[in-house]
Structure 1
Amino acid sequence: MKKTLLVAALAGVFATAAHAQSSVTLYGLIDAGITYTNNQGGHSAWQEKSGTVNGSRWGLRGAEDLGGGLKAIFTLENGFNIANGTSGQSSRMFGRQAFVGLASDQFGAVTLGRQYDSVVDYLAPLSNTGTQYGGTIAAHPFDNDNLNNSIRFNNTIKYSSINYSGFKFGGTYSFSNSSQFANNRAYSFGATYNYGPLNVAAGYLQLNNDVASASFAANRAGSFTGSSGAGAQTGEWTFLAGRQRTFGAGLNYAFGPATAGFVYTQTNLSDAAGGGISGTQSGTGNATQGGIAFRANSARFQNFEGNVRYALTPALSLAGAYTYTRANLGGGVNPNFNTVSLQSDYLLSKRTDVYLQGNWQHVSSNSEVGAYLNGLSSASTTQNQVAVTVGMRHRF
C-alpha cells in the first residue's frame, strides 16, 4: 500500500514538472473607434473603424522546454475587423503570423511559416507607424516601406539572434515553392543596437515577383482590385512591380520622459510599367485609391520621418510625427507627400486605454494625385485629407 502511494505521488510530481515545462498563452488586442474624414471620394464621412492605430488581433503563443537551453516555440495569430467580425489579411485564419521553430538561449531562434520581414522586426519600432503612438493611419504613403505590416511573407524561414549586449540581428528568406527558384521569392535582413537611451536600427527587404505568371499579368493589365497573385510568398501586394527593394535606418533617443527619433526609408521599384498601387492592402480594406499607375519601368519613394513622444504622467502620453515623402512614379508624376500625425493617449488601466488621434496629409505637387491617408476607404479628391479618430484599445 505504501509503495502504491509513493508511486502515485512521484507520478504526480513528474506530471506537474512536465506540465510546467510547457506553456500556451492566449493573447490579443482590440482597437475600435469613430473616425471623421473631411474628404473621401469628394464627401466627408463618419465611420466606425477597426484597427485605426493597431490592427485588432488574437493569438496563441506557446513554448516547450526541451532542456539544455533549447525550446520549441510557436505562434498563431489571427487579424480581424471588430466592426463586422470578419477576418483580415485576405480572410486567412492566421493571417498575421503562423510559425513554429526552435529557440536557443545561446544561438538564437529559427522559425518556419508566415512571418514578418526584418524591416518590420528591427526598423519599424523606431517609426511612429510601427508603434502604438501612430499605427495604421500614420503609415508612410501607401505604406510604401511596409513599416505598418501591409504584407506578411509566406513560406518563410527566419533567424533571430539573441541579445549580444544590446546588439540583435536577423534575416528571412521566403521561398517561391516552385521550380522557378528565383521568381516569387523575398528576403530581408536587419539589426538593432541599444545603448542606454540610444537605439539605432537598419533593415533591407527585397521582393522578386514573377512577372510572367498569369495572375501577375492579369493584375498588371489594370485590375487593381485584387489582393493576391502578385507574389506567392506574400499572398497580398502593395505594388505591382517585378522587383521591390526597400531599405532604411533610424534612431531613437530617450531623455527623461521624452523620446525623439528619426527614420529614413527608400523603396525602389523596377519592371513597374503597367503596374500600380494596390487599393486593397492586406488588413486595411482600402478601396481603389484613385487609379495611380506607374508611368515608367522604375518608381521610387523616399521617406523622411521625425517623431517624438512625451509621457506627461504615467497614464497620459502625447506623441507626434511628420513625414516628408518624395515620390517618382514616372512620366513627370512626382508627388511630394507631407503627412502629420498627433495623438494623445490615456491609460484607464494596464490593459485598457482611450486615444484621440488627428492625421493630415497634403500633396504639394501633381494636382492629379489626391491625398490618401493609409487605412481609409478612399482617396481625397483634393490634395488634402484630414482624419480625426476617437478610439479605445483593450489588450488581453
Structure 2
Amino acid sequence: MHEKGGAVPALRVSTLTRSLAALALAGLASGAAHAQSTVTLYGSLDGGLRNLVNGTKTGGAALTMASNGVYNSNRWGIEGKEDLGGGYYARFVLEAGFVLSTGANNNTNNQIFQRTSTVGIGGPFGQIDVGHQYTLQHFVVKDFEPFDFHYLSITESTAVSGGTTGRDDNDINYRGIFGPWVVRGEYAPGGVPGSVAHGSTLGGGLNYHTKTIKLGAGYTHKSNPLTATSSQYFANDQYTAGGAVTLGPVDVMAGYSLDLQDTPASARSMTRNQYLWGGLRYQATPFFNVTAAYYDDKNKTGGVDGRKGVAIIGIDYLLSKRTELYADIDYTHFTGVYVTNATLNLSGHQKQTGISFGMNHWF
C-alpha cells in the first residue's frame, strides 16, 4: 500500500508517458493521412534558331533566335495539391511565360501569371477549376492535334482553341471522367453590371478514349463586346470535332472547326472561319519520332475570301527524360485577303518557307 499523496511508481509514469506519446503520434498520422499536400515547381526552356524565306517585305530571309519558344512555350509554374480526404482534393496552378533571350515577361501588359492562374477542387464528381485558364476547345482538340500544341507560332492550333492566346478570363472549367468518357463544361461570366450575357462564354464538350481510338466534339458560345466600353455585344459560335486512331507506333488524326462570328450591325455580315487539319505521328524509337501535318484556314467576311494553308514536318530526339532536340521544315501559302493581312502575314508575301531547330528542356 502507498500512502495518500505519495509518489507515483516509476513503472506507472513510464507506461503513461508511452501511452500519451503513442496517442500523439497516432493523431499526427491520422491528420497527415487526410491533409497531405504537395507543391511542385515546373517549367520549360526552349531556344534555337528559325529562318523564314520571304519573311521580310523585301523578300529576304528572316533569321531569328527562337527565344519565345518555337517548339514549346517558355514558362515556369507552381502547382499545388492538398488531399482533403474521402477522395477529394484542392488544387492550384500559377504559370508565367518568359522570353528566354532577355528574361522579360512574355506579354506586353507585364502580367506575371498570364498563362494560367487557377484554384479548384476535385473528387469523385470530377474537377472544377476557376480563374484564367485554357479554353474548353483547347482540351477537346488536344486529343487530335497532330503536334500536341507544339510549334504554335507556325500551326493554326492557337486560332482553333480560341480565347485570348487559347485561354479565357474569369473562367469556370469542369472536367468529369466516367469510364472512357470525359465530360467537359465551361462558363465565364463577363463581369458587366446589369448584363449576365455581355462578354460571357458558355460551352460544353465530350471526349471518348480507348487504347486505339480517341474522339471529341465541343461547342462554345461567346457574347463578344462590340467595343471595350459598349453595352452592345455580338455572338460568336464555335463547333469542333475530330478524332485519332492508333495503329502500332503510328497515330493518325484529323479535326474540323467552324467559327461563326457576327460583325457590328453596320457591316451587316458574318465572319466565317473554317479550320481543317490532319496529320500523323510516327514513334520510330522510344527516343525519336516524326510528325507531319497540314492545316487549312478558310475565312470569309462580307463576301471577301482569305485562305491560309500550312504544311509542316517535325522531328524530335530525346537526349534524356528532360532534354530533347527538335527541327522542322514548314511551308505556308496565303491567298485572297490573307496575303495583305498584316496581323497574319507581316511580310505580305504569298508563299513562305521556314526551317527551325533548337533544344527544349523541362523540369
TM bucket normalised to smaller: 0.7 to 0.9
Equivalent residue for 1:322, pick from 285, 294, 309 = 294
User: 1:166 aligned to 2:185?
Assistant: no
User: Residues 177 and 316 of structure 1: is their aligned pair in 2 closer, same or farther, counting only changes over 3 Å?
Assistant: same
Structure 2 segments unaligned to the other structure (5+ residues): 1-12
Q: Distance in 2 between matches of 1:349 and 1:12?
A: 42
TM-score, normalization: structure 2? 0.85
User: Residues 101 and 120 of structure 1: is their aligned pair in 2 closer, same or farther, counting only changes over 3 Å?
Assistant: same
User: 1:393 aligned to 2:354?
Assistant: no
Q: Distance in 2 between matches of 1:369 and 1:184?
A: 30
Equivalent residue for 1:70, pick from 73, 83, 88 = 88
Structure ranking higher on relative contact order (CA contacts 8 Å, 6+ apart):
1
Q: Distance in 1 between matches of 2:49 and 2:23?
A: 57
Secondary structure of 1:144 counterpart: helix
* Map of 1:47 onto structure 2: 64
Secondary structure of 1:93 counterpart: coil
- 1:285-324 aligned within 5 A: 297-324=269-296
**How many aligned residue pairs are there?**
343
The one-letter amino acid paired with 2:138 is: V
Point out the structure with max Rg over C-alpha: 2
Say which is worse superposed, 145-154 or 40-49, in terms of deviation.
145-154
1:340-391 per-residue CA deviation (whole Å, 9 max, x = no partner) reads 1110110001111010012211024458536977xxxx62221112221111
Equivalent residue for 1:380, pick from 330, 347, 354 = 347
The two structures, once aligned, show a CA RMSD in angstroms of 2.7
Equivalent residue for 1:353, pick from 318, 324, 328 = 324
Q: Distance in 2 between matches of 1:272 and 1:144?
A: 21
- 1:233-312 aligned within 5 A: 242-272=234-264, 297-312=269-284
The one-letter amino acid paired with 1:266 is: L
The one-letter amino acid paired with 1:385 is: Q
Q: Distance in 1 between matches of 2:306 and 2:48?
A: 30
1:128-173 per-residue CA deviation (whole Å, 9 max, x = no partner) reads 3543xx43133228x43226971421212121102x2211011111
Secondary structure of 2:226 counterpart: coil
Shift of 1:184: 1.1
1:3-34 per-residue CA deviation (whole Å, 9 max, x = no partner) reads 55664565456546645611111111122221
Identity %: 28
Q: Is contact 1:99–1:111 with CA below 8 Å preserved after alignment? A: yes
Between Structure 1 and Structure 2, which shows a larger proportion of strand residues? 2
Q: Distance in 1 between matches of 2:190 and 2:130?
A: 14
The one-letter amino acid paired with 1:170 is: R
The one-letter amino acid paired with 1:101 is: G
User: Residues 368 and 199 of structure 1: is their aligned pair in 2 closer, same or farther, counting only changes over 3 Å?
Assistant: closer
The one-letter amino acid paired with 1:326 is: K
User: Residues 327 and 216 of structure 1: is their aligned pair in 2 closer, same or farther, counting only changes over 3 Å?
Assistant: farther
Q: Distance in 2 between matches of 1:310 and 1:371?
A: 35
Q: Distance in 2 between matches of 1:208 and 1:363?
A: 30
Q: Is contact 1:327–1:334 with CA below 8 Å preserved after alignment? A: yes
* Map of 2:218 onto structure 1: 203
- 1:87-126 aligned within 5 A: 87-89=105-107, 90-104=109-123, 106-126=124-144
Q: Distance in 2 between matches of 1:11 and 1:302?
A: 64
Shift of 1:58: 1.3
Q: Distance in 1 between matches of 2:205 and 2:53?
A: 38
The one-letter amino acid paired with 1:48 is: M
Q: Is contact 1:128–1:135 with CA below 8 Å preserved after alignment? A: no
User: Residues 149 and 52 of structure 1: is their aligned pair in 2 closer, same or farther, counting only changes over 3 Å?
Assistant: farther
Equivalent residue for 1:334, pick from 291, 295, 305 = 305
Q: Distance in 2 between matches of 1:372 and 1:312?
A: 37
Equivalent residue for 2:205, pick from 187, 190, 195 = 190
Q: Distance in 2 between matches of 1:149 and 1:176?
A: 14
* Map of 2:155 onto structure 1: 139
Q: Distance in 1 between matches of 2:231 and 2:358?
A: 38
